[in-house]
């Protein structure tokens, strides 16, 4: 027999309403807790860079907005112990943040969440070498993940940057279950409004008090509308630093 919750959802859908917010996973720690453990130790039994040969892949860190001075400014503002990046591509932004952290003698970890399968626009034009071509399909499957590993290894940032190759929502729920929070969460995955909105919903709870959730591509309608919608619901002020937008979680 359907539950009351299931019946309520069914009725809402029939009336034309869409319940888009995902119910957060039940945490294994207290509401304001954080295990304090390094994500690498919780996520990988074996070092993902172990026996990986970066020389087999080209030196290619090309991306969009990955050299922005906003990264350094936000790191100065927050002084993070942990950074989570949602949408990594070839690792350009992660490596910029790694350099900014090193310049400040910080040992903060960076967790990179991505499927490395490409966003919608990467698959739209087979003649676009910048997007579709960058997927570097091998037997029909993208090889972007290995380019990312190679770029991180060549930069010597293997100890700081940890890959988490799953969808955004899966990673956010894993973090909730593990009690993992971050001081900076960078959203730069899909540009579709519903996808961006969902990223904001599931990752906001994983931002520590006093931390910042920020992102790129404000000029994309899907990104801007999703951020404005979420900020309005949460009564947050959208601020800007160079080419990045950000939302600060008050203490």
Tell me the CATH number for domain 24-248. Answer: 3.40.50.150
Better pLDDT: 38 or 185: 185
Task: Give the start-to-end residue ranges of the domains of the chain.
Answer: 24-248
Does residue 188 contact residue 86 with C-beta atoms inside 8 Å? yes
Percent of the chain with pLDDT over 90: 65
What does pTM read for this prediction? 0.84
More confident residue, 241 or 251: 241
17 with 9: CB under 8 angstroms? no
Q: At what angle do helices 92-103 and 144-154 cross, to 10 degrees?
A: 20
Q: Is the torsion defined by CA of 247, 184, 203, 206 positive or negative?
A: negative
Confidence category of residue 30, pLDDT binned at 50, 70, 90: very low
Q: Where is pLDDT greater, at 11 or 80?
A: 80
| Model pLDDT, residue 7 | 59
Flag the least confident range among 120-134, 167-181, 189-203, 228-242: 120-134
What are residue 86's DSSP bridge partners?
Answer: 113, 187
Largest CA distance in the chain: 60
Q: How far apart are CA 189 and CA 130, in angstroms?
A: 16
Q: How does residue 3 score in pLDDT terms, banded at 50, 70 and 90?
A: low
Q: What is the pLDDT of residues 102-142, one digit of tens each?
A: 999 999 999 999 998 877 777 888 888 877 877 787 888 88
């Amino acid at each position: 027999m359907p539950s009351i919750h299931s019946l309520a959802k069914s009725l809402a859908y029939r009336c034309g309403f869409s319940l888009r917010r995902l119910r957060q996973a039940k945490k294994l720690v207290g509401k304001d807790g954080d295990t304090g453990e390094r994500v690498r130790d919780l996520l990988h039994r074996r070092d993902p860079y172990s026996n990986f040969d970066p020389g087999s892949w080209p030196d290619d860190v090309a991306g969009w907005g990955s050299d922005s001075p906003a990264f350094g400014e936000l790191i100065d503002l927050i002084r993070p112990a942990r950074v989570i990046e949602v949408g990594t591509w070839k690792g350009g932004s992660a490596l910029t943040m790694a350099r900014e952290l090193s310049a400040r003698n910080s040992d903060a970890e960076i967790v990179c969440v991505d499927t490395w399968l490409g966003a919608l626009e990467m698959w739209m034009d087979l003649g676009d070498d910048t997007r579709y071509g960058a997927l570097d399909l091998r037997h029909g499957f993208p090889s972007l993940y290995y380019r990312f590993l190679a770029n991180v290894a060549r930069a010597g940032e293997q100890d700081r940057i940890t890959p988490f190759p799953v969808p955004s929502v899966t990673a956010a729920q894993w973090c909730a279950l593990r009690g993992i929070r971050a001081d900076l969460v960078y959203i730069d995955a899909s540009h579709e409004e519903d996808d961006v909105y969902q990223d904001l919903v599931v990752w906001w709870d994983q931002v520590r008090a006093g931390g910042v959730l920020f992102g790129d591509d404000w000029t994309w309608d899907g990104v801007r509308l999703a951020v404005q919608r979420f900020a309005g619901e949460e009564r947050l002020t959208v601020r800007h630093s160079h080419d990045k937008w950000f939302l600060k979680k008050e203490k």
